[in-house]
Structure 1
Amino acid sequence: MTSLARALAQPQLEPTGASDACSPRGVPLVPSRRRQLWSCPSLHPASPNVLEVRVLVVNTGGTIGMTLHDNGLAPQPDAFVQSLRKLPIFHDEQYAQQTFMYDYYGENTLVLPMTKDYKRIVYSVLEYNPLLDSSNMTTDDWVKIGTDIKKNYEEFDGFVVLHGTDTMAYTASALSFMCEHLGKPVILTGSQVPIYEIRNDGRDNLLGALMIAALYVIPEVCLYFYNKLYRGNRVTKVDTGSFSAFASPNLSPLAIAEAEITIKWDTVWRGNSTAKFQVSTELNRNVGLLRLFPGITAATARAFLQPPMEGVVLETYGSGNAPDNRPDLLEELKKATDAGIIIINCTQCLKGTVSPSYATGQVLIEAGLIAGGDMTPEAALSKLSYVLAKRDLDLDARKKLMSQNLRGEMSSDLAGTRLCLSKSRFIQVIAKCLNISCKEELEAVRDAFTPPLACVAAKIGDIETLEALKQMGSNFCLDDYDGRTPLHIAACEGHLNVVNYLLSHGVTVYAKDRYGDTPLCNAVRFRHRKIVQLLRQTGAHFSREKLDEAGTELCSLAASGDLDGLEIWNLAGADFTKPGYDGRTAVDVVGSRGLNIT
C-alpha cells in the first residue's frame, strides 16, 4: 500500500451535520464556511483579505497575572483570560462573535484589533495549574514549557511565555538550548507590576510580545521587556524596582518597539541546519554556580566540587582571573577537571568577556577550565545542563560543545569577517546617486534593494549572485513588495539547489506572503516533489487554516482522478479527512469513483 493509500484509508470525519460544532445561530460550523465569513468584505470594508496569525500564550504564572491577597500578591487561577477579555486593546469581541471564533479555536482564545496591514492576531492562552511564582521554577518546569511548545508547534505561528521576572533569564537561556532547529519566535515576558493595576508595565509587555511573535519570523527564544526584544540567553535581571528590569550587556537588543517596531535583522541568530524542530527534554541537574571571593578556602571549593557534581560555572574576577598565588585552590580545580568535571570560566562583571591576557587568567586555563567568553552565568549554567545531558557524547565532545557558539549565547570571532558595506561596488554606486554615506543609510539602501535582487536570483537559479548578496550582509529572510522571500520564489520555480542553499543559510520556511502562503504552499501548487520533501524534512507544514481550506482542493483532485496531485498534497502533510464545501472528503470521492490507489 502506498503512502497515499494509507492516507486515504484513515478514519473519516463525520459528514457535516448534527455532530459538528455549531455556531451561535445553530448553523453547523464548516471550516470553509468560517473562512468565507472572516474574509467577508462586509465585516472588513477596508480590505477583503484579512489574514489571521495565531500565537499560543503559555501562562506559567508570575507577577503579570497576580492579584492582591491577604498574604500579598499571588496568582489567581482562571482570572487572566477573563480580565483580558474586558480590555478592548486585547480583545475584539465583535470579530470573535461574527467569525464564530470560539467554536473554532475554543473559549480561551482572544483576538487583537486589526493591525494596520489588515492582520488579526488570534491568541490562545494555555494556563498552567498551579500557576507558579518564578522563584519556584525547576528544570521540570522548563521541560514542561518546552514540551508544550513542541506539542503545539504546527498549530501556531509564534509563542509567548508569561513568566515571573526572578528566574526569567534562566528559563529563557534553558529554552534557547532545548529548542533545537527553532524556526518560529518564542518570546518570554512578564511584568514588575500586575496587569490589573491602573499603572503597570504588563499591558505594554504582553502586547509587544504578542505583536512581535505574530508579525515577525524571528527564529529565536527571546525576552521582551520595556519596549526591547533581547536574545533570551543574553539577558540578566538588573533591577527589582524599575520597569527596565533586564539588560543584555554584551549584545544590543534584537528589536526596539517605539512608534514603529524596528527589527535589527543583522543581529538575529539563524542556524545553518536543515533539520526539523525538536525539543531536547533531557537536562542534567548536577550543575552549579561557584563565585570566587577574596579569601575563599580550598575546602570550600573542594566541598562544592564533590560528586555528583558534573559541571560548574566559576564566576571569576575581571576578564576571567583568579589568584595565582593560591596553589591549594588551583589544585582543587585541577583535580576536579581531571576527574571529568567541566568547569566554565565566566566573569563576575556585568559586561565584558573572559580573556587570557593576565597571568592570573592563564593559570585557570592550565587548570583545565574552559573560557566562557561573554556568556552570562545564567546562559553558561543552562548550557552545561543541556550539554551534559547528551549521554551519547564523550567528555571531549562535551567540552567542545561548551566552547562553541550554539545559539548566539557568546560572541563569535567570525562576526567581523563579513565584507564591509562600503566595499560593495553595487552599494557604492547606489549611495553615490542618492548622495548618502553614513552606515545607517547604507544599510537602509542595502535592505531596500537586495530583497528584490535576491528574489530575481532565486527565480533564475543564480546561486553565485545570492552568494555575492550574502557577502554584502543581505538578509534572505526579508521579503519583497508582495511579501515573498527568495525561498518562495525558488519553491515556485523548482530550483532545488537554490532551496537547499537558502535553507542552509538560515532562511525560514514559515514566512507568509500577502496571501498567507508559505514556500511549502508554493511548492505544492507547482508540484515540485523533491522541494516538498526537502521543506517537510526541514519542518515546513501547513497551517490549520490551510489544512481546512484544502478539503475542497483535494476533493477536486480526487474527482478528476489526479493521483499525482493527491500524492503531492500527501507528501506535504495534507489531511484527507477534511471535508470540502459540500461536506464530502477526498476519501469519499475516491471511493465513489472506484479509483485504484494501491
Structure 2
Amino acid sequence: MDTLQLADESRVLIIYTGGTIGMLVGKHGYVPEPHFLTETLRSQTRFHDPSQDSLFSNASSVQGFRQWSSSGRSSPSAERNATDGIVSSATPPQPTLLVRSSRPISRFTMLLPNQQPEKSQPACVKVSEDVYEAHLPSLVTPKSSVAGGAAKRIRYAVLEWDPLLDSSNMEIDDWIRIATEIELNYHFDAFVILHGTDTMCYTSSALSFLLEDLGKTVIITGAQIPLSQLRNDAVDNLMCALSIAGHYIIPECCLYFNHTLFRGNRVSKTSSYDLSAFSSPNLPPLVDVGIDIVVNWNDVIRQTSLRRFKAHKAMSPFVATLRLFPGIAAATVRAFLTPPIRGVVLETFGAGNAPQRADLMQALQEACDRGVIIVAITQCAKGTVSDAYETGRTLLKIGVVPGGDMTPECALAKLSYLLSKPELSLDKIRELIALPLRGELTRPVASAPNELVAGEMNKIRSLLSHFVRLSQPPSSVPQVVITSDSVDSSAQDATAAWSQTAAEAASTEIALLPFLIHLAAAKDDVESLGYCVSYARSDDHPLHGPLEGGLYSGVPGGVVNCLDAASGRSPLHVAALNGSLNCVNSLLESGALVHLRDTLGHTALYYATRQGHYEVVQVLLQAGANLGGVDIEGGFALLGMQAALRNGDQDLLRMWEMAGVKS
C-alpha cells in the first residue's frame, strides 16, 4: 500500500537506465548487473533508514549519538556494520509508491527486501496502451537539511530499466522513453536519472527540450567508478543529486557530477578518467556543493508560461554534425548535405569562421536554398560565434544560422527537436535556433552603468513609498509618500542614519522587498507586485549575492518565490489564499512555482480551492498545478470536500472535483 506523504518528506523517482554507476566486473570488463544498484541502496542506511535508528539518523549531536550508542541499537545484533549502514533483517518492510512506465516493469524490481520471486507475485498492471503501473518498494533517507531550510526525509523509488543500457547504446527512442516516464510520474516532487557518462550530455540536452514547461527538478547523474568498488564517486554523486532534488525546486533538466550541478544543455564531457568529467565553459554552475550547498539562483530558469507540463515525444533523426578542417573538400561537404539530411550543426573555426573557397561556399548555399538548416557553432570549448570577421559574415549571407555559444551536443538536440515539430516553418526554426528556449545560449547584453549612491537612495525611497502605502490599514486616510524630491522629516532622519554605500543600500532594499511582494499579493495590488518584479530584474542592480533564505534580487522570478519565514508560504500561496486573481496571473507570468509547498505541506491550489476562489483555481490548474502530498494523502482536501457536501455548497464541491479530489 502507498505510504502517506508527510509535510517534512519529499518524493523523488529515480529512473535507472544503466551506466557505470551500477556495473560489476565481468570477464571482459565492467558490465551492467540487474538489481545490484537497487539492492545496494536498500542495504545502506545513508540511502535507506525507515526506522530512523541508524548511526546516520542519530549523529547530528553528541547527545543524540550517545543516547543511540547506549540504547543497544548500535550492537552487531541490530546492525552488522553501522558505518556501512547494512540494515538488519528485523527492519520492517517499507511502504510502496505507485510508479508508471511506458514498458512492463520487471517483477524483480517490484520485490520488497528479503522476498523471493516464487513467494511473491507483485502485479504490473497495463492501464492503457503503452502505460503500465506497479507498486515499487520505497526507500527513505535519514533526515537532512540545507541552509535556510527545514530538515526533510527523501522517500524515493527506483524504476530500473530492463535491460540496462550502456550509454553508448542510447538512442532517440530512449530519450523519449525517459521523457515519457517523467510525464507519467509527474506526481513525484522531483526526478533523478542514472545514466552512463559517455552520452550523458547528449541526453541532458535532449531532455531539456523534450520536457516542455517543466516545473520540477530533473537531475541526470552517474559515476566514473561504479558503486561496487570500495573507492568510488557513485555514492557522492547519487546522494548529492538526491539531496538537491529533494530540497530544492530547480525547474530545469540538470546534470550533477563531482560536487557541481550544471544546466544540462550547457555541458560537455571533457575527461574520460577524471572524477570531474564534465565542464560548462559558457555558464557558471547552478549549484556548488561544498561544506554548504550554494544555489546560484541568479542563473536558475524560472518558467513564466501558463501552460501545463508535457513531454514532447518526437525528434528528427535526420540531423548530423560536420566539423570543418583545413582543406576539407567541397565534394565531401556536398555529399554530407544530401537528403535525407534536414539539419546540420557546422563546427566552425574560432568565432564562426570558415574557408572562403567558392566551391565550398556554393555547396553550403545550395543546401540552405533547398531547405537544409545549417547552424554554425564554434569548435572552441569556450566562446561564441559572431560576425566580427568577414569570413564569418560570409556564412551568414548564404543562409547559415548562428548558434551562439551552444555546445555541439545541445545544438544537435535543439535542431532535432525543432525539426520534429511539423507546425514550424523553416523560417521559424531558423529564428528559434538563435533564441534561448531553455537557457541553452547566451543573449548579448549591454554592460551595466556604474552605480551611484544617490541613485540607490532614490530607489530605496521609492521602495519605502510602496511599503508604507500597503502597510496602512484600510480605514487610514493619510499616507506617507517618500520620494527623492519630498521626504518627510522622520523618513529623512531614518535614512540619514544609514551608511551611504551602494552595497549597504542594496541590503536594505533586499530586506524590504519580500515583505512588499507578500503585502501586494495579499491585497491584489498588481502595481506594487509589478514594481517588485521589475525591481528585482533590474540589470543595473549592484548586489549580486545570496539573500537570506536563498533568494536573489537579480533573478527574474526569484523574488516571486520568496518564502515567509514563519509559514513557508510564497507570494502565490498568499495570493491564492486571498483570492487575488490579478496577482496570481502576474506571479505566474513572472515565474512563480505552482508546486511549492508551505511549512504545512500545502500548495497554492489547496488554499484557493479551500477558500472557494473559483477563477484562481482555474488559472492555477491551467498553469499545471495539482493537489498532492498532504493535500490528498493527509486527507485535508477530502475533509474540505466533505465539509462542502455537509453544507450543501455545490459550487465548492465542484471546485474540489475540478482540482482532482474524488469523493
Same fold per superposition (TM over 0.5): yes
Native 8 Å contact 2:13 2:188 kept in 1:
yes
Aligned position for 1:300: 332
Establish whether residue 102 from structure 1 lines up as the match of residue 104 from structure 2. no
Which stretch shows the higher mean deviation, 345-354 or 521-530?
A: 521-530
Distance 1:176 1:420, change over 3 A: farther
Q: How does 1:66-215 map to 2 (within 5 A)?
A: 66-95=23-52, 101-103=94-96, 106-116=135-145, 117-153=150-186, 155-215=187-247
Which of 346, 349, 357 is matched with 2:377 structurally?
346
Q: Any idea what SS the aligned residue of 1:413 has? A: coil
Native 8 Å contact 2:351 2:392 kept in 1:
yes
Distance 1:227 1:460, change over 3 A: same
Establish whether residue 494 from structure 1 lines up as the match of residue 579 from structure 2. yes
Q: Point out which structure has higher relative CO (alpha carbons under 8 A, 6+ apart).
A: 1
Distance 1:513 1:82, change over 3 A: same
Which stretch shows the higher mean deviation, 552-561 or 140-149?
A: 552-561
Distance 1:165 1:309, change over 3 A: same
Deviation at residue 414 of structure 1 after TM alignment: 5.3
- Superposed CA offset, 1:9-34 (max 9, x none): xxxxxxxxxxxx5xxxxxxxxx8xx6
Deviation at residue 501 of structure 1 after TM alignment: 0.6
Aligned position for 1:394: 425
Q: Which amino acid in the other structure matches residue 108 of structure 1?
A: P
Native 8 Å contact 1:418 1:472 kept in 2:
no
Native 8 Å contact 1:179 1:277 kept in 2:
yes
Native 8 Å contact 2:266 2:410 kept in 1:
yes
The CA distance in 2 between the partners of 1:494 and 1:268, in whole Å, is 29
Q: How does 1:385-464 map to 2 (within 5 A)?
A: 385-413=416-444, 423-425=455-457, 435=499, 437=501, 447-464=510-527
What stretches of structure 2 of length at least 5 have no aligned partner? 54-89, 99-134, 462-493, 537-552
Q: How does 1:259-408 map to 2 (within 5 A)?
A: 259-324=291-356, 326-408=357-439
The CA distance in 2 between the partners of 1:433 and 1:202, in whole Å, is 54
The CA distance in 2 between the partners of 1:99 and 1:487, in whole Å, is 40
Distance 1:183 1:426, change over 3 A: farther
Q: Which amino acid in the other structure matches residue 561 of structure 1?
A: G
Deviation at residue 209 of structure 1 after TM alignment: 1.0
Native 8 Å contact 2:385 2:403 kept in 1:
yes
What stretches of structure 1 of length at least 5 have no aligned partner? 1-20, 22-30, 40-49, 577-598
Establish whether residue 531 from structure 1 lines up as the match of residue 616 from structure 2. yes
Post-superposition, which runs of at least 4 consecutive aligned residues in structure 1 deviate over 4 A? 95-101, 103-107, 414-424, 426-439, 441-448
The CA distance in 1 between the partners of 2:420 and 2:291, in whole Å, is 44
Cα-Cα RMSD: 2.5
Which stretch shows the higher mean deviation, 280-289 or 86-95?
A: 86-95
Aligned length: 530
Which of 208, 216, 231 is matched with 2:263 structurally?
231
Which of 508, 527, 532 is matched with 2:593 structurally?
508
The CA distance in 1 between the partners of 2:603 and 2:451, in whole Å, is 32
Q: Any idea what SS the aligned residue of 2:214 has? A: coil
Q: Percent identity?
A: 45
The CA distance in 2 between the partners of 1:234 and 1:128, in whole Å, is 27
Native 8 Å contact 1:57 1:125 kept in 2:
yes
Deviation at residue 151 of structure 1 after TM alignment: 0.4
Tell me the TM-score normalized by structure 2. Answer: 0.76
Native 8 Å contact 1:461 1:498 kept in 2:
yes
Deviation at residue 442 of structure 1 after TM alignment: 7.2
Deviation at residue 303 of structure 1 after TM alignment: 1.0
Deviation at residue 558 of structure 1 after TM alignment: 2.3
The CA distance in 2 between the partners of 1:111 and 1:431, in whole Å, is 51
Which stretch shows the higher mean deviation, 475-484 or 512-521?
A: 475-484
Deviation at residue 309 of structure 1 after TM alignment: 0.2
Greater helix percent: which structure?
A: 1
Q: Which amino acid in the other structure matches residue 367 of structure 1?
A: I
- Superposed CA offset, 1:359-405 (max 9, x none): 11011111210000111111110000000011122211111111211
Distance 1:466 1:418, change over 3 A: farther
Which of 249, 259, 273 is matched with 1:241 structurally?
273
Distance 1:362 1:56, change over 3 A: same
Deviation at residue 563 of structure 1 after TM alignment: 2.1
The CA distance in 1 between the partners of 2:650 and 2:417, in whole Å, is 46
The CA distance in 2 between the partners of 1:123 and 1:518, in whole Å, is 20
Aligned position for 2:19: 62
Deviation at residue 129 of structure 1 after TM alignment: 0.7
The CA distance in 1 between the partners of 2:308 and 2:235, in whole Å, is 34
Which stretch shows the higher mean deviation, 309-318 or 556-565?
A: 556-565
The CA distance in 2 between the partners of 1:418 and 1:551, in whole Å, is 55
Native 8 Å contact 1:420 1:472 kept in 2:
no
The CA distance in 2 between the partners of 1:438 and 1:98, in whole Å, is 57
Q: Any idea what SS the aligned residue of 1:350 has? A: coil
Native 8 Å contact 2:601 2:630 kept in 1:
no
Deviation at residue 258 of structure 1 after TM alignment: 1.3
Distance 1:283 1:197, change over 3 A: same
